[in-house]
Chain A
Amino acid sequence: MRAKENIPEEIPGMSRKIPFSVPDNYFNEFPSRLQEGLSETPTVPISRTYPVRRVLAMAAMFIGLVTVGYFGLRMILNGQDTRMLSGDEVSTAIEYFGHEFDDEMLIAAIVESDIDIDPQDSDYESDAIIEYLSSEEIDFTEILIDY
């Protein structure tokens, strides 16, 4: 914990200047280009007739399963390390996974999937969603690198 408090604020000899530039007049012209795009884009709000809360609840369950699986995999890969994982490590990992599951990304992923969703069907069963979420391959390597 002490090491984390003494985080160096700067990299010696390194400027904080962002080393990128933009084309001339970019920011002057951007608002009017955007307005043209907005007048062409239909302003239909994102439909919320999907069973969003149910999907998010299942995503939360999925996060829990992945987290348990991750720590199991980590203990297997680090077979020599018999140290108990601290509460901080567990909560930090959950926060990282939780960040991945943005509700709009989740809805977009379902829309792009093969699930045949009828937004008008209020009796739509969750089985198809569970099957889709369960079939997602989780790249544990990416998760390990990320953590």
Chain B
Amino acid sequence: MADQHDKELIQRFHENRNEAFNGIVRKYQERLYWHIRKMVISHDDADDVLQNTFIKAYQGLEKFREDASLFTWLYRIATNESLTFLKKERNRFLYSTDDYQQQLERTLVSDPHFDGDELQLKLQKAILRLPEKQRLVFNLKYFDEMKYEDMSAILGTSVGALKASYHHAMKKIELYLTED
């Protein structure tokens, strides 16, 4: 049913761009926002990246070949935009990987839109210590409870590699949480 609705939205996009795209935005904005936010941490940055994601989608939807689902395609754009954003920020301030991880941690601690408890803060700090691709995998699996097959379609990585990545991420996080 979800795929059929997406097909209708894409069909309507060819006939009435703005109205159909508005429907796509309303349907996917929250899922994409939270996916981005978990990577970039700051609400303002997530807002920028989400806008860029939908602008890219708007520009590319005319030629969208539907060889992947709309959901997968949008998630892929959001993922790439998030990683591009993080890379640009690192390069802009000439951060090393460790320095940028600490900067994100400072953003997390000072974020007025963080409403978790101490344990959740510790978990988020632990997640920030993971390499970016592992963070992606962990977030998609742990918080979104996404199937490995769907994750594989979005990230272009094999199910086996994703399971290995999640396994290592869990180990690192458990180790960090049991420190102190």
**Chain A residues engaging chain B, CB cutoff 8 angstroms:** 3-5, 7-8, 11, 13-23, 26-27, 30-31, 33-35, 37-38, 41, 43, 45-46, 88, 91-92, 95-96, 98-99, 102, 104-105, 108, 141-142, 145-146
Contacts and interface: CB of A to CB of B under 8 A. Distances in A.
Given A19-B116, A20-B113, A7 B33 contact: no
Contact of B58 (A7, A38, A98): A38
A21 B115 CA distance: 7
A4 B115 contact: no
Nearest to A41: B55
B104 interface: no
A5 B9 CA distance: 39
10 contacts: A7-B170, A19-B117, A19-B121, A19-B124, A20-B38, A22-B43, A26-B47, A27-B29, A33-B51, A146-B131
Contact of A19 (B26, B50, B115): B115
A30 B25 contact: yes
Interface string B43-71: 10001001100110011101100000000
Interface of B: 18, 21-22, 25-26, 29-30, 33-34, 37-38, 43, 47, 50-51, 54-55, 58-60, 62-63, 80, 83-84, 97, 111, 113-117, 119-121, 123-124, 131-134, 142-143, 145, 155-158, 160-161, 163-164, 166-167, 170, 173-174, 177
Contacts of B124: 19
Given A92-B161, A146-B133, A37 B51 contact: yes
A23 B50 CA distance: 15
A21 B166 CA distance: 25
Contacts of B157: 95-96, 99
Contact of B145 (A14, A16, A27): A16
A7 B155 contact: no
B95 to A, nearest CB: 12
Contacts of A41: 55
B119 A14 contact: yes
Given A8-B170, A20-B43, A92 B160 contact: yes
Contacts of B59: 43, 45-46
Contact of A92 (B43, B164, B167): B164
